[in-house]
Structure 1
């Protein structure tokens, strides 16, 4: 009787329906034979919540995928081994979609907020310091940086204001020192500094360099001089 029960129990998962599609509870394993995932299929379609485990004796849950929306999407949450949420967001298939959130280590404090479209960054990406203050803001289009970029120091001072096009610096850019005072400014063309750039020390203009002809350096209030 015990042997019969054991055989029946073994066949209660990893079944296929008449069309050869996964149906009912399925359990996957690592090469080590430890559990890798567990979830329920309905005629080939994931339903409910799937759990994914790490390859250790303890078998901590490292991710869950919630398919209860029943629209082909899942809400996915990744965990560290102390059950803290690392990141979370929506997936359609294997592609991220919409807002994804990432958290500072072992914390509920938001570290990064990103927006995806068909698996690619698309929209505003914001990075935060542990005190919830904004550290960076950048917009993406189809996975590429596009538009204004801003970087802010922990003391709240602006560190960089620039513009991107097709994932490269393009146009005016200003870089600041740790006190929020201009350190350098100029233009970029296709990711490279071009034209006249100005360099400052403690807010005072000290040098101008034609980045299109880097051998020519101009000290402030002086005539051009070849270096």
Structure 2
């Protein structure tokens, strides 16, 4: 009987200690100190981190149901900045992507990695949650495969595509997120195979087709359009 009583006292004191160790509030009712939240009817953590009078500070870890002890995302908060460093992880703990956020919007440089690898797959820039700047994509061997410029979320200017050996194979021109301007396709020796113009996402004017550098035929677009 005495042993059972001591057991319940131990459990009670452990519970009180846990409550004091985690999930406390300050005098104004704001979260303060170390916090942990679990999924309903589960021992699986949902998140854990530290608050300073209601403000997140340091590293927060976030978990998916049944993810165990490996976080699916982390956020690093600063006491003197609104920006947050964010990382997303695979189930094995490999980084999928990382970058900065302010609120729910991405800002600055974001980096993405090939699956299960530390090799960069893509880099891109954001401004107020929209793609803004150069986006680059890479093969796993590190060779650049594609680059393009975004302005406030829309494709602008040249989009260049390379083969895994670094040979230019495609060249497009965009304006306000639409194909608009010269487009070229190249063969493995860097010679033009196809070239022509787009106008607001539609082929326009004379398109030329080549083989081994020699002109084979030309077509006028839109089909049925005659010359002036």
TM category, shorter: 0.7 to 0.9
The structure 2 residue matched to 1:24, chosen from 23, 33, 45, is 33
Q: Is 1:137 the equivalent of 2:147?
A: yes
TM-score scaled by length of structure 2: 0.87
- Specify every segment of 5 or more residues in structure 2 that has no aligned partner in the other structure, as ranges: 1-8
CA contact (8 A) 2:143 2:165 kept: no
CA distance in 2, matches of 1:62, 1:137: 29
TM-score scaled by length of structure 1: 0.87
**CA displacement at 1:22 relative to structure 2:** 2.4
Partner of 1:221: none
**CA displacement at 1:19 relative to structure 2:** 3.4
CA distance in 1, matches of 2:41, 2:122: 35
Length, aligned pairs only: 217
Cα deviations across residues 146-181 of structure 1 (Å, max 9, x unaligned)?
111100011221111121111111111111234433
Dislocated runs of 4+, deviation >6 Å: none
- Specify every segment of 5 or more residues in structure 1 that has no aligned partner in the other structure, as ranges: 218-223
Aligned-residue CA RMSD (Å): 2.1
Q: Is 1:6 the equivalent of 2:10?
A: no
Q: Secondary structure at the match of 1:61?
A: coil
**Aligned pairs for 1:15-164 within 5 A:** 15-31=24-40, 33=42, 34-56=44-66, 58-68=68-78, 70-164=80-174
Of residues 42-51 and 25-34 in structure 1, the stretch that sits farther from structure 2 once superposed is 25-34
CA distance in 1, matches of 2:67, 2:136: 37
CA distance in 2, matches of 1:168, 1:32: 50
